[in-house]
Every structure is written in C-alpha cells, then in structure tokens.
Amino acid sequence: MSKRTSPEQTPRIGFVSLGCPKALVDSERILTRLRSEGYGISSDYAGADLVVVNTCGFIDAAVEESLEAIGEALGENGRVLVTGCLGARPEEVLARHPGVVGITGPHQTEQVLDLVHRELPRPHDPFLDLVPPQGIRLTPRHYAYLKISEGCNHSCSFCIIPSMRGRLASRPVADVLDEAERLVAGGVRELLVISQDTSAYGSDIAYQPQVWRGSPVAARLVDLARGLASLDVWVRLHYVYPYPHVDGVIPLMAEGRLLPYLDIPFQHASPRILKAMRRPARSENTLRRIAAWRRQCPELVLRSTFIVGFPGETEEDFSLLLEWLEEAELDRVGCFEYSPVSGAAANVLPGAVPESLKRERHERFMETARAISRRRLARHAGQRMRVLVDESGPDGVVARSPGDAPEIDGVVRLPPVAGVKPGDFLEVEITGADDYDLAGLPVADPEEVRA
C-alpha cells in the first residue's frame, strides 16, 4: 500500500507515462501543474503517495500494456489514478482494476488535478489557502449556482451569446459533481444547475463518462441529475429545452429526488415567430410533452420566459401565444418586450412592432400569466410542504417552496419562527396565496425536518 504523508510533509506523486507524443505532452502538463502547486514527484512507487498512470488505448497491445501498468502500480503502491486514452473507456479499466481511485480521459489536465486534490490535499499555500474549498461565492451560503457548460451551439436570431462565448463547452461530469459535493460540504442546501442550454449538456464531449464515487457516470443531463440527486440537497434545473431526452428527468422529480421544477425558455409559441427566432426544439410538440410530464409528476412547476413584439409578430401570432399559455398553464413566467441587441441577426428582420404595441402586448401577456399563476398557487391552500428559509427575523420568515427559484419566482411568507435561520428547512401548511406568493404556518419543529 502507499505510504501516507503527514500534514507537514510534501505529498509526492509517482507518474507512469505511456503512449504517443500527444500523451507525453499531457503528462508534461500534468507534472508541471503538480510541481507548480507544490507536490513532489517520486521516481519510484515506494516514495509516492499516489501514482498517476497516463495510458494508451490505440491498439489492443497498447491497451494490454496500459492495463498491466495500472496493475503493477496498484500492486506496488495501491493508490492509482488513471488518465489518457484508455481512460476514455472507464468500463474497461474498472472491469480489470476496480480499485483505482479515479479515471479521466486524454487532455484532461484539470480533471486529473481535481482528482489529485481530492485524494491528496494540495500542499499549504499561504495565498491560495485564504480561499475556502468551495470557492468564493456571491450567493447566500445556502444556495449556489452550478454551471455545467459554457457557450451554445444554437443561433437564435435575437441572441449574440454564441458569438461572445463560443460554442458549447461542457464541463467534465466528475468535475461538476465534485464541485457540487464541495458546495454541499460548505453548507449549500440548494443547487441551481445553469448553462446556456442545459439539455445539450455533454453533446460536445460525446457524453464522455468519468468515474465518480467509484462508478462511471456519463456526461448526460439525466446521469448528471441522478448524481446531483444523490447529494441529498435540493437540485433545480434551469435553461432546459423540451427535447425528448428531457423526459428522463421527470421520473427523478416524481420520486422526489430532484425538485419538480423545470425552467424552459420557450420565448414564443407561434411556429412562424419561433422559426424567425430560430429557436431550439421549435418543432417539438411541447403542449403534448408538458401534459405527459404533468401526468407523471403532478407537482411539476414550469417556469419560462417570453419575448413579445418580435419583428413580424402579428395580432394572430400574439393571440396564439396567449392561447398556448392558457393551455400550457405555466406556473411562472417572465416577459420581455423585444429590443434589438447590437450584432443580432434579428435586427434586419422586417416588420418592427411599434413600441406602444409592444407595451400593450406585454401588459396583456402579464395579465394572462398573473391569472394563471394565481390559479396554480391557489391549489396549494391546505397542503403541507417543505420550504427552504431565505430570511428570518422579527418581522417573519421568507422561505421558498420547491416551485420557487431564488430571485425570479415567488416566496412563502411565514410569521416569525424562533431559532430559524437561512438555510433551514421547515415543514409548513399553506394558508393562503396571492398572485405570486404563498402564505403559511410552520407545522413541525425545524430540527425534525432539517435536511
């Protein structure tokens, strides 16, 4: 087995580098980063606290050589992290060597470093150690945004994000799950999954699986959601497009493992306008999909945003939008009057809608949305639900239900409750509702229901 360093000693990493020059460059990058972070490099197994094996997976003979090298490192040291081309097929590694502490694919220096940090805490650095393990956050301590990707592969005509932030770049799944774990360890009770397009997660990296907590997890929305659900905190999904594979998260919501909440930026409902907007999933039959989701998970809360007054929007398009909204019965909606963004393709579209008409449509839209919201909230009267406390003081408690995302949705108002603080869960009975918010009374000792 590997020797362990005492906290005062420098942790030392052994390194076995196999494969082609590209793999060698990866090895050099990893070693450079390790050294710059203060880790020692050991030239033998006995002097190492952990061994990294950078593998090759090109032909059968190279795979066998890599598997043998992993076996040797495990036998000599016991604590082995696998990276490189064979790491892109974690099942093959785990089938032969289930005891490895982690696996990453090729060109994944950051992920290797993350795994090393997890196994062997980084040596003390008087500057970096001022930063807590979960990083510096601007949100309250009990909830955090978890960004799973950057950029976007769509080309909505009103948006310039793809030209600003580039194409979709998904974070490796173990990276995201490790961050989520650190956040939860740091006191976070609610994770808000964000990106430009959450449903597309992993499509740019071939859904590459990675080992997390000893099992392979694919970089796919449903698998990621399952991993996050295992952390036993509230998990809320934002910016999801209604593609068929999203159906896979609904059972997790029905089982109470994910919050029954989906934030889907529909933007419009008229096929003509959606086409002009070049929206993703515009050809999906979303009303049918929403109805099926609600049959499976009646508690599901749907949130969305819309744009009114898009170039070319006729009264007919707008009426269609209102009818669609009534039928979809979305719980929470935001609405924006269209305004051109410098550099967006929509700027050259004909049929600009006059400002006064945009305003009028905005008002009519919000009136419809308000009535739906009131109706949807009224059904909670008399129900019991678990809420998460955001504020607590002599004037009362402001909390959120599973259907309320922070900042953008409503709240649940309670009278003052002694000893309750932000981040506590309370069991409440709903006593009333207005257009957007609920009122309730606590029904149990918060200690009994704290997550």
The nearest distance, CB 266 to ligand SF4, in angstroms, is: 11
Task: Give the bridge partners for 41, in sequence order.
Answer: 13
Query: Does 162 help bind ligand SF4 (rule: CB under 6 A)?
Result: yes
Long-range contacts: 211-220, Cβ < 8 Å, 24+?
Answer: 211/90, 211/94, 211/100, 211/102, 211/103, 211/174, 212/173, 212/174, 212/177, 212/178, 214/98, 216/90, 216/91, 216/94, 216/103, 217/173, 217/174, 217/177, 218/173, 219/170, 219/172, 219/173, 220/245
- In the beta sheet, which residues pair with residue 212? 215
Task: Please tell me whether residue 54 binds ligand SF4 under the rule CB under 6 A.
Answer: no
- For residues 105 and 280, which CB has a smaller minimum distance to ligand SF4 in the complex? 280
Q: Which of residues 122-141 bind ligand SF4 (CB under 6 A)?
A: none
**DSSP symbol at 119:** H
Nearer CB in complex with ligand SF4: 155/383: 155
Contact with ligand SF4 (CB under 6 A): which of 29, 97, 117, 154? Answer: 154
Q: Rule CB under 6 A: which of 194-233 touch ligand SF4?
A: 196-197
3-state secondary structure 394-430: CCEEEEECCCCCCCCCCCEEECCCCCCCCCCEEEEEE
Stretch binding ligand SF4 (CB under 6 A), from 153-161, 210-218, 359-367, 392-400 = 153-161
Would you count residue 366 as binding ligand SF4 (CB under 6 A)? Answer: no
Other Cβ atoms less than 10 A from the Cβ of 85: the count is 23
CB of 305 to ligand SF4, least distance (A): 10
Residue 197 CB, nearest approach to ligand SF4 (Å): 5
> How near is the Cβ of 241 to ligand SF4 at its closest, in Å?
7
Residue 30 is a binding residue for ligand SF4 (CB under 6 A): no
Rule CB under 6 A: say whether 161 interacts with ligand SF4: yes
Q: How far is the CB of 138 from ligand SF4 (least distance, A)?
A: 22
Q: Distance (Å, rounded) from C-alpha 323 to C-alpha 365?
A: 10
CB of 316 to ligand SF4, least distance (A): 24
Which range in 148-156, 254-262, 347-355, 425-433 contacts ligand SF4 by CB under 6 A? 148-156
Report the residue from 80, 156, 252, 420 that binds ligand SF4 according to the rule CB under 6 A: 156
295: tokens are 């049959």
Total residues in contact with ligand SF4, by rule CB under 6 A: 10
Our finding on whether 17 is near ligand SF4 (CB under 6 A) is no
- Identity of the residue, 311 or 442, whose beta carbon is nearer to ligand SF4 in the bound complex: 311
**Rounded to whole angstroms, how far apart are CA atoms 287 and 266?**
11
Mutual angle of helices 173-185 and 109-119, in 10-degree steps: 40
Q: In the structure, how many helices (H) and strands (E) does the chain have? A: 13, 20
Report the distance separating Cα 395 and Cα 401, nearest Å: 19
Q: What pairs with residue 150 in β-bridges?
A: 169
Q: Least distance (Å) from ligand SF4 to the CB of residue 155?
A: 6
Q: In what order do the strands lie in the sheet with 80-84?
A: 40-42, 12-17, 50-55, 80-84, 102-103
Q: Helix, strand, or coil here: 26? A: helix
Q: How far is the CB of 65 from ligand SF4 (least distance, A)?
A: 44
3-state secondary structure 130-147: HCCCCCCCCCCCCEEEEE
Beta strands in 56-158, from DSSP E residues, in sequence order: 80-84, 102-103, 143-147, 149-150
Rounded least distance, CB 293 to ligand SF4, Å: 21
Touching ligand SF4, residues 251-290 (CB under 6 A): 280
Binding of ligand SF4 by 246 (CB under 6 A): no
Quote the least distance from Cβ 282 to ligand SF4, whole Å: 11
Residue 173: CB atoms within 10 Å = 27
**345 contributes a contact to ligand SF4 by CB under 6 A:** no
Q: Is residue 168 near ligand SF4 by the rule CB under 6 A? A: no
Interaction mask 60-99, ligand SF4, x per CB under 6 A: ----------------------------------------
Binding site for ligand SF4 (CB under 6 A): 152, 154-156, 159, 161-162, 196-197, 280
